[in-house]
Amino acid sequence: MSTDEIRRLRARVRELEDRLTFVYQHLGIEYQGPPNVSRELIEFIKSGLKIQAIKLYREMHNVGLAEAKDAVEEIAEQLR
């Protein structure tokens, strides 16, 4: 990719980000970024491997079963 192509892509990304900001402001909503989760966790959730997702979440965040289950369910809801 040439320097000029990269420059044009960056300009396009800025333009699209500005448009999204306008839409969010117009609708009166605030952007909430995606949850900070690993790709592996997302793949487990998307594949319906809830138990593996909960186990991985527990290992990653050193939390109990109930907290991990709630977190995985919330992430799954956001991914829908």
pLDDT in tens, 14-66: 999 999 999 999 999 887 766 577 899 999 999 999 999 999 999 999 999 99
How many domains does one find in the chain?
2
Q: Is residue 61 a contact partner of residue 47, using CB atoms and an 8 Å limit? A: no
- Spatial CA neighbour of 77 closest among 50, 58, 52: 50
What's the predicted TM-score (pTM) here? 0.57
Q: Do 78 and 39 lie in a common domain?
A: yes
67 with 38, same domain: the answer is yes
User: Residue 36: what pLDDT?
Assistant: 73
Q: Residue for token digits 């609708």?
A: 27
Do residues 1 and 17 both lie within one domain? yes
Task: Compute CA distances 69 → 7, 17, 33, 40, 47, whole Å.
Answer: 44, 34, 21, 16, 16
Residue 11 has pLDDT above 90, yes or no: yes
The pLDDT of residue 49 is 97
| Model pLDDT, residue 73 | 95
Q: Which domain, by its residues, includes 23?
A: 1-31
Pair (23, 58) in one structural domain: no
Query: In this structure, are 50 and 16 located in the same domain?
Result: no
> Are both 5 and 22 inside the same structural domain?
yes
Contacts of 60 (CB under 8 A, 6+ apart): 38, 41
